[in-house]
């Protein structure tokens, strides 16, 4: 349909460049964009998440009581939310008074859903100045309101399709053309990665604002049939989100479910207190594009910067969370490295193979440097280590692990300077 609403770059006031303040990676962080939508963290939960996750929110104005006094010590950021027009402004301001480092405020949660914030576009515009006043008082940027395709029922004046998040935002921005909206907030439970990428792209193209994907998982249309399918979905979409400059932040839904990690829809990032599920291990080990692995650091096979031709599964090995099974004879994984000096290194690969001998080729900056023969280990649940040597150049090389056959599994790769 023809779009007569605000054009890209014309929506709301906001800041000129809301992506300019993205902090650099520090202390071995895998990502500054990655977060979690969850409201029942323990101190132990945040500790195990902190290396691979930058932030979280809980749909409320302050952190859970269990972590309120300690979360900052772990380097994890909390982002408060004004859930609907009845949010507790006193509690929010008290939290902001005590935490002057807070930078963002999440706006209303799914106002286009009857069973969520349940506000028309005009009502959101009516209440938005309260958020702007708070943002002004505490020098905050505003994210939202968060939208998704809805069942309808929240009236969008002048249109027949009340389910469209785009028509909802069109009406909101028409009613609130001078409002401060620094980032868009989007939710998606679309089953396929291609659909998520299309959906997020529509918002950035239509409104010219960077996106926070504040709830996301594969759940629609029956969702994944197995946790392995959810892993493949998460890995595909998380890498795309991590490397998309128009996505400022993203948050998986959810930490734990009543169903548990082994039951549909396979959403759980957290297992027992302070423990990651295999899905959580995958989520927290995907590196940002500017992260560099070091020599002498173990490289989890699922944690490459780029790759294709493999599938994920919870590992049967006694170490790690996830392994990969080659599904294509041209499969590969790339790891971007930092090497302080040229050195001879021992390469150790943890693999399981139920078939004939397989050959792994190792390349540095696309040039083959050595091969490893992966013998039959007795089954895909029987793990052995295979070793070789290579010269690692000084600088920031890319190590590629490339297979020539499918059907066997890799858990991790270790580079050890000799």
* Average pLDDT of every residue of the chain: 94
pLDDT value, residue 27: 63
- Across the strands, what pairs with 391? 344
Least confident of 9-18, 22-31, 302-311: 9-18
Confidence bin at 9 (pLDDT 50/70/90): very low
Is the pLDDT at 328 greater than 80, yes or no? yes
**Residue 73 backbone phi and psi in degrees, to 5:** -65, -20
pLDDT value, residue 19: 60
pLDDT digits (tens, 9 = 90+) for 106-151: 999 999 999 999 999 999 999 999 999 999 999 999 999 999 999 9
Is the pLDDT at 20 greater than 90, yes or no? no
Share of the chain above pLDDT 70, in %: 94
C-alpha span between 376 and 358 (Å, rounded): 8
Average pLDDT over residues 222-234: 98
C-alpha span between 232 and 299 (Å, rounded): 18
**Cis status of the peptide bond prior to 59, with omega within 30 of 0:** no
> Three-class SS of residue 100?
coil
Integer Rg of the chain from CA: 23
pLDDT digits (tens, 9 = 90+) for 41-58: 999 999 999 989 999 999
C-alpha span between 111 and 83 (Å, rounded): 9
Confidence bin at 7 (pLDDT 50/70/90): very low
User: Where does the chain hold its CATH 2.60.120.260 domain(s)?
Assistant: 293-417
CB 219 within 8 A of CB 189: yes
pLDDT value, residue 4: 33
User: Where does the chain hold its CATH 3.20.20.80 domain(s)?
Assistant: 34-283
Is the pLDDT at 278 greater than 80, yes or no? yes
Is the pLDDT at 31 greater than 60, yes or no? yes
Is the pLDDT at 22 greater than 70, yes or no? yes
C-alpha span between 305 and 289 (Å, rounded): 7
Average pLDDT over residues 316-341: 97
- Across the strands, what pairs with 77? 55
Average pLDDT over residues 315-324: 97
Among the four given CATH numbers 1.10.760.10, 2.60.120.260, 1.10.10.1150, 2.70.150.10, the one describing domain 293-417: 2.60.120.260
Share of the chain above pLDDT 90, in %: 93
pLDDT value, residue 8: 34
Give the homologous superfamily in CATH for domain 34-283.
Answer: Glycosidases (3.20.20.80)
- pTM, two decimal places: 0.94
pLDDT value, residue 10: 42
DSSP 398: E
């Amino acid at each position: 349909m023809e779009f007569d609403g605000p054009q890209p770059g014309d929506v709301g006031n906001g800041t000129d460049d809301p992506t300019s303040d993205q902090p650099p990676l520090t202390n071995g962080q895998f990502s500054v964009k990655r977060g979690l939508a969850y409201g029942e963290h323990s101190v132990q939960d945040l500790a195990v998440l902190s290396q691979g996750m930058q932030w979280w929110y809980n749909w409320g104005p302050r952190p859970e009581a269990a972590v309120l006094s300690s979360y900052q010590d772990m380097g994890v950021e909390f982002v408060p939310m004004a859930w609907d027009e009845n949010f507790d402004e006193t509690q929010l301001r008290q939290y902001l008074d005590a935490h002057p480092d807070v930078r963002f405020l999440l706006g209303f949660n799914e106002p286009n859903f009857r069973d969520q914030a349940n506000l028309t576009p005009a009502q959101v515009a009516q209440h938005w100045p309260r958020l702007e006043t708070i943002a002004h008082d505490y020098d905050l940027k505003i994210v939202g309101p968060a939208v998704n395709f809805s069942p309808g029922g929240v009236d969008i004046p002048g249109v027949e399709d009340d389910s469209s998040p785009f028509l909802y935002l069109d009406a909101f921005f028409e009613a609130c053309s001078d409002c401060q909206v620094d980032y868009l907030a989007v939710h998606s439970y679309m089953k396929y990665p291609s659909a998520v990428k299309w959906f997020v792209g529509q918002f950035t193209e239509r409104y010219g604002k960077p996106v926070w994907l504040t709830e996301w998982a594969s759940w629609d249309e029956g969702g994944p049939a197995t946790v392995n399918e959810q892993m493949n979905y998460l890995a595909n979409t998380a890498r795309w989100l991590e490397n998309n400059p128009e996505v400022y932040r993203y948050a998986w839904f959810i930490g734990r479910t009543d169903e548990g990690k082994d039951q549909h829809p396979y959403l759980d990032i957290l297992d027992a207190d302070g423990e990651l599920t295999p899905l959580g291990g995958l989520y927290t080990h995907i590196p940002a594009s500017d992260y560099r692995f070091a020599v002498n650091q173990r490289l989890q096979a699922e944690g490459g910067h780029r790759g294709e031709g493999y599938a994920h599964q919870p590992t049967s090995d006694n170490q790690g969370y996830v392994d990969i099974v080659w599904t294509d004879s041209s499969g590969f994984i790339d790891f971007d490295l930092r090497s302080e000096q040229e050195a001879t290194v021992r390469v150790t690969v943890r693999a399981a193979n139920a078939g004939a001998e397989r050959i792994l080729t190792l390349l540095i900056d696309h040039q083959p440097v050595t091969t490893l023969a992966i013998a039959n280990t007795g089954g895909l649940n029987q793990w052995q280590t295979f070793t070789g040597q290579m010269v690692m150049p000084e600088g920031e090389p890319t190590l590629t692990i490339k297979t020539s056959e499918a059907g066997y599994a890799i858990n991790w790769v270790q580079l050890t300077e000799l």
